[in-house]
Structure 1
Amino acid sequence: MSNDSCNLPLDTDTFGLTCIYGLIFSLGLPSNLLSLWGLYQLGRSGGGSCQLVYILNLLLSDLLQLLTLPLWMLYLQGGHRWPYGQLTCELVGYVFYVNVYASVMFLCLIALDRCLAIVHPLSSRRVRTVRVAAVSGVVVWILTFLFCLSGLLPTVFDSDRLLCLEQYPVSPGYALFMITTVVLGFLLPCTILGYTSAHIGLTLQRSPSLSNHERHKIVGILVVITVNFIVIFGPYHLVGGYRFMSLLLSEEPCGLERSIFLIYRLCYGLTSLNTLLDPLFYFFLCSDARLELQRSLPCLARRQHGRMKMTLSARPRPSAQADSETGQINLLVM
């Protein structure tokens, strides 16, 4: 398969992206559904908070993005030819982009909420409410919707070549939109995550009630979250920034498109890994949500009970350190 205008080898990304999407969908769908169920049970038990609202929105955006992956796999297997019509292409492509950047925004809100909770625990109580979180969630969805609408209109479907969410070479307007996503969808969130992590770390260093191990544990989780964001979204936005800036300045855009096609497409596919990792960082580190999930699903409760018995038999004198670490992680996440 070759593109009519740039002679791109469109089939070179089929195997890699199909494997990536298949792995993410098969593991990410059950983990997100389990996470949503656990958070729902936590909310029913009275454990609701503004953090719960942000995490719920994050997981919903991940789930919507996951549901588009089977169609993208069929698109790849069909040789980059979209057989479902223009309206379906625009809907699926739009859902994909909206949920990628909505999840980025909710990650920033979670980080800012943790920063307020740890650095300004008393003065931020009026801001850190469920109502404010719900309104913030609605605002995020509306702004993300309008932002993506401005960049993806009038269409993301090439009716002549049946390409969906692909342009070779791209139009100047689309290139400017993608450069804007690099700034607002990656560089700005990186700044927010880095600032909140550093601010929380400095606050914890001055806290006399925490041991060094507990401080290192909390700061370590913040660093892992920030590094995870950079690793998942960094390659796509950095390679994309180079691609679209060069296309605006280049007199031979097709040569650049051919040289960067495969690496850009693989980096594009890797952004979906956030749908797999978000439940691990923002649910499975939360002891309250795990307990609610175990209570609502007896099979998990029995498995956990068996592990506890094995642990107790192997260690007759359990240390109180584990309880302290769990409490600190719960402070960080919820």
Structure 2
Amino acid sequence: MSNDTCNLPLDTDVLGLTCIYGLIFSLGLPSNLLSLWGLYHLGRSGGGGCQLVYILNLLLSDLLQLLTLPLWILYLQRGHRWPYGQLTCELVGYVFYVNVYASVVFLCLIAMDRCLAIVYPLSSRGVRTVKVAAVSGVAVWTLTFLFCLSGLLPSVFDSDRLLCLEQYPVSPRYAHFKITTVLLGFLLPCTILGYTSAHIGVTLRRSPSVSDHERHKIVGILVVITVNFIVVFGPYHLVGGYRFVSLLLTDEPCGFENSIFLVYRLCYGLTSLNTLLDPLFYIFLCPDARLELQRSLPCLGRGQNTRKKRNPQYQISTRHQEGD
């Protein structure tokens, strides 16, 4: 690859990414805070177990990633010029990337924990403990940080053009790092999620003690999780893999960067959607967490009770009980 500077149309992604980041931040911040509040009360009541630890780490990583979005919006509005200095760029860049891939790993841990609980309920009790989950969480954060640090350290900030987390054209070292993230941060997790979903599905079909309703619910949630992972992270990693492999092979990197710039940047922005969808799939679909949230926030319970009382079937059943 050439060491020349590419003059790309950096303003073409401003409108799209500003809208994406603004929508995700305005909806994701309250939903993640609400979910963390529900998890806090669920933990105080003694529920959740090791699953609670994994989901808590997942939501914390989402929240940290969300807090970087206003700075990225300001960066875009300034024409891809980072005015806050190199240290701030490095810090925000590491937070963003570390939390993206920490979220991916915690998704896999949650899926593997569900698989062990359903397929090996007795033999996995020694592994599925809060202590093991806590140690796993610390290991995930440490390894993810070190991995991202090794790849981002020389390539985060361009002091001449004030670009943050952008490099046109990229260095061969950074291209190899990004190809590795495609393999370890997308293809491997896809394999894990697919395997656990299939294994759980086979086990549920063979289990006579599980009702059809529960079976369809568990499999449906696992399928939605896997599809959500592919839809949110798939475009960025697949387009990124094509981009960085091509840059290692092409003799005209700037021309290629120009042709793929907008598509890659929009796919990059879509990865933040996981911060908006994680609370939906892992908290609001969890009955225990919903109950704790309603107990801690009575306004939610009042709204639900009001809807029930307006329901004709509820009124009929109430009159029957009064008659009895």
* Residues 245-284 of structure 1 aligned to structure 2 (within 5 Å): 245-284=245-284
Given the alignment of the two structures, is residue 114 of structure 1 paired with residue 151 of structure 2, yes or no?
no
Structure 1 partner of 2:198: 198
Q: Note the C-alpha offset of 1:46.
A: 1.2
Q: Note the C-alpha offset of 1:298.
A: 1.6
3-state SS of 1:84 partner: coil
In structure 2, the CA distance between the partners of 1:21 and 1:113, relative to structure 1 (3 Å rule), is same
- Note the alpha carbon deviations across 1:38-83, whole angstroms, 9 max, x for none: 0000001111400000000000000000000000000000000001
Q: Note the C-alpha offset of 1:311.
A: 3.8
Distance 1:164 1:233 in 2: 21
Distance 2:164 2:58 in 1: 26
3-state SS of 2:181 partner: helix
3-state SS of 2:179 partner: helix
Distance 2:43 2:148 in 1: 31
Structure 1 partner of 2:170: 170
Unaligned runs of 5+ in 1: 319-334
* Residues 112-261 of structure 1 aligned to structure 2 (within 5 Å): 112-261=112-261
**Percent of counterpart pairs with the same letter?**
85
Normalised to the residue count of structure 2, the TM-score between the two structures is 0.95
Distance 2:200 2:148 in 1: 32
Distance 2:126 2:309 in 1: 43
Given the alignment of the two structures, is residue 75 of structure 1 paired with residue 81 of structure 2, yes or no?
no
Structure 1 partner of 2:322: none
Distance 2:67 2:214 in 1: 38
Using the TM superposition, name which of 121-130 and 300-309 deviates more. Answer: 300-309
Unaligned runs of 5+ in 2: 319-324
Distance 1:64 1:248 in 2: 33
Using the TM superposition, name which of 286-295 and 256-265 deviates more. Answer: 286-295
Distance 2:153 2:195 in 1: 34
Q: Note the C-alpha offset of 1:178.
A: 0.2
Structure 2 partner of 1:100: 100
Displacement over 6 Å in runs of 4+: none
Structure 2 partner of 1:307: 307
Distance 1:312 1:36 in 2: 35
Amino acid corresponding to residue 52 of structure 1 in structure 2: L
Structure 2 partner of 1:88: 88
Structure 2 partner of 1:321: none
Distance 2:58 2:310 in 1: 35
Given the alignment of the two structures, is residue 285 of structure 1 paired with residue 308 of structure 2, yes or no?
no
- Answer whether contact 1:82 1:164 (CA < 8 A) is retained: yes
Between the two proteins, the alignment pairs up a number of residues equal to 315
Structure 2 partner of 1:11: 11
Structure 2 partner of 1:324: none
3-state SS of 1:255 partner: helix
Structure 1 partner of 2:20: 20
- Note the alpha carbon deviations across 1:177-221, whole angstroms, 9 max, x for none: 000000000000000000000000000000112333432222111
Amino acid corresponding to residue 55 of structure 2 in structure 1: I
3-state SS of 1:47 partner: coil
Distance 2:181 2:154 in 1: 18
Normalised to the residue count of structure 1, the TM-score between the two structures is 0.92
- Answer whether contact 1:90 1:155 (CA < 8 A) is retained: no
